[in-house]
Every structure is written in C-alpha cells, then in structure tokens.
Structure 1
Amino acid sequence: YNVGNTSIIGNTCMVENDDYDFYMDVNFRGNFSLRSNNKLDVSAMAAHIGNGGGPPNASGGKIEGYKDSFVYADVRKFVQDYIDKKCE
C-alpha cells in the first residue's frame, strides 16, 4: 500500500513472482498503479475499475470514494470490495 516507485517495485514483483498476474499500488488519495507481466492487460482493468488506462503492462486510475486507512487489511478489503462491485 502506497509504496511509491511503482515501476521499480511492481516490475520487480512481477519478475520474482511468476505466479502473480498483476501488481497494484494504491495511494492515500485512491490513485492506483497496476503492473503486469503480459498475463493480464492492466489497461483494460484500469479502464473498467478506475476510469483509467495506459499501456497493457503499466496502467493506472482512481478509486472513487476511496477511504484511506493505516491498516493494510482494511485497505485490501475496501479495494477488493470495490473491484468486486465494478465487476458485477
């Protein structure tokens, strides 16, 4: 959560964890960055869930109504619920 330097961290995560399809970083304003390793077009995901976009392996957007928290589990639950609702 809100680690910054998304390109370096996200790309490293994708290289070292081949079992993951994408990496997501969310900041305190609800802006998110996505990184992928050619397994998922994150530009389509960004457009669908956050009115965003970008290249297929590096995109971003904004989570409307985002509620920040210092507790990672709360952030994760909020983001997961938000994505689930957008995909219904």
Structure 2
Amino acid sequence: MALETMKISKAFAEQVAIRLPRQTLTRYAIYNTSKQVAKWIGIKLTKDTFARGVSKVIPLIGVPISTGLTYWTFKPMVNRLKKSLDE
C-alpha cells in the first residue's frame, strides 16, 4: 500500500510540475509572497521554478497521509490478531 501511495504521489508531483505553470499564479498570495522573499534573497523566481519547488513538496505532504491511512486500516486487524493469538 505504501508503494502504491508513493507512486501516486510521484505521479501527482510530476503533473503539478507540468500543469502549475500554465495557471495564473499571480493571483495567489503564496506565489506573490514567495516571489518577494526570493527577490530579497537575490533569486529570480519564475513560474517554472515555483512549480518545480511545489512539486517537490507534494510527496512530503503525502507521507503523513499515507502513514495515517495505513495505521487506521491496520489497527483493527492487529487487535483481532492479538486477540486470536492470546487465546
């Protein structure tokens, strides 16, 4: 299950890197804030570099979701197994 989730998050990140620069990012506050911070640091932030950065963050967001889902689904099975082995 974790391997499937990793594949899905990787594919999602690739699609974000492709599709995000096509959208109008100038109306989003996070893009404008990131652009201002990059300007203060001395880095030129374009839509493509912003999209690549966001696509690298997406798998990091997927890890806790995958972990929680795995825990939530396995917990009842573990309890049943423990109860069965105790008998």
TM-score band, normalised by the shorter chain? under 0.3
TM-score of the superposition, structure 2-length normalised? 0.21
- Structure with bigger strand share is 1
Query: Which structure: larger Rg?
Result: 2
Counting helix residues as a fraction of each chain, which structure ranks higher? 2
Higher relative CO (Cα under 8 Å, sequence separation at least 6) belongs to: 2
TM-score (norm 1): 0.21
